[in-house]
Amino acid sequence: MQRAIYGTQDGEVIVGYGPFTDFSEPPPSGVAFYVNDFALSHPRPWRVPDRVEQLEVSGAAELDVSWKEPVPDLFANVFREVSEAIAHGTIEKSVPVVVERGLFQGGVDGILDRLVNVPGALRPYGWIDEGRGFLGATPEVLFSLSEGILHTMALAGTARSDESVVFAVDEKEIREHEFVAQTLIAKLSELGMVRRRGREILDLGKLVHFQTLIEVELYRKAQLGALIQHLHPTPALGPLPRTPETLALLEDWRSRLKCPAHFGAPFGFLRDGAFEALVAIRMVAWEDQELMLPSGCGVIQESRLVNEWRELRLKREAVKELLLGS
């Protein structure tokens, strides 16, 4: 049975059960989930469930996964291409993705059980469709919209929690974050009056990130689909500058690295006119008995291969601990 999972701002974890009715536009009332891939290629991404319930713990066993460590060769080639594009002035930043793969037995309901109790700074989400799907808990909100006010965030820069004091003054991490924040503010200024808060450190337990919260008072009523297209991909996950050419480069790099299609995509929830979309990171995806764990890194001029490879592994280890208990 198809299921959609969404963790709300109020701490609810909502499950929508199929059969789903798919629409190209959001319904005027009721509940709908927005499920699309990174390329926004689905023509009918608004999924209206047959019924909605609160997620409850089922007592299912946790997954036993036989992981295969990713090798750096392919990522190193892509990293070199990204660095060369930066040196030539084609881009300032892009976000390649490494995928760790494994085989598992049984079902994925054990991951659902863990989503009920994720830390408050993380938001559960997911899509289950027969023998495939994805589940995760993300710290990043693409945007929320209610009564003409849009809330969003810049989230970029990563370190271990025990390195937070040094992280706070790391020039490379600060520059990467400000790339993201300033680019986002420029996009948002086309929509309304922007108010930015100061840069903060978001502590997620094993990891810390820089976070900047942003609010926009919209000049006019905006269509949800248009807002999603305007803001996705976030500067944290997309190229800078964001043009058809740089997006095509990113899509090529993601394809060659065999990135799951929904990693980094918007995943949304509409209820009674209020809408919010998360950014689908910190996830696992699966097809049949193959489990995929993607992690991405922002590559800028100062980036170094060894450091980015270490950061990618750190992110995957945090996801394993959170979703798989390993």
| Fold that domain 3-324 belongs to in CATH | Anthranilate synthase (3.60.120)
**C-alpha–C-alpha distance, residues 90 and 9, integer Å:** 38
Domain extents in the chain: 3-324
Question: pLDDT tens string for the chain (326 positions)?
Answer: 899 999 999 999 999 999 999 999 999 999 999 999 999 999 999 999 999 999 988 888 888 899 999 999 999 999 999 999 999 999 999 999 999 999 998 889 999 999 998 988 999 999 999 889 999 999 999 999 988 999 999 999 899 999 999 999 999 899 889 988 999 999 999 999 999 999 999 999 889 999 999 999 999 988 999 999 999 999 889 998 999 999 999 999 999 999 999 999 999 999 988 999 999 999 999 999 999 999 999 898 999 999 999 999 999 999 999 999 87
- Which pLDDT belongs to residue 309? 96
- Which pLDDT belongs to residue 236? 86
- Which pLDDT belongs to residue 143? 97
**Bond preceding residue 233 cis, omega within 30 of 0:** yes
- Which pLDDT belongs to residue 153? 96
Please name the residues in contact with 189: beta carbons below 8 A apart, sequence gap of 6 or more.
none
- Which pLDDT belongs to residue 53? 96
**C-alpha–C-alpha distance, residues 247 and 40, integer Å:** 12
Radius of gyration of the chain (CA): 19
- Residue 197, judged by CB atoms within 10 A of its CB (0-12, 13-18, 19+), counts as exposed
Count H helices and E strands in the chain, helices first: 7, 19
Q: What is the pTM of this model?
A: 0.94
Could you tell me if 76 and 47 are in contact, meaning their C-beta atoms sit under 8 angstroms apart?
Answer: no
- Which pLDDT belongs to residue 305? 96
- Which pLDDT belongs to residue 62? 83
- Which pLDDT belongs to residue 154? 94
Helix (H) or strand (E) holding 312: helix 305-319
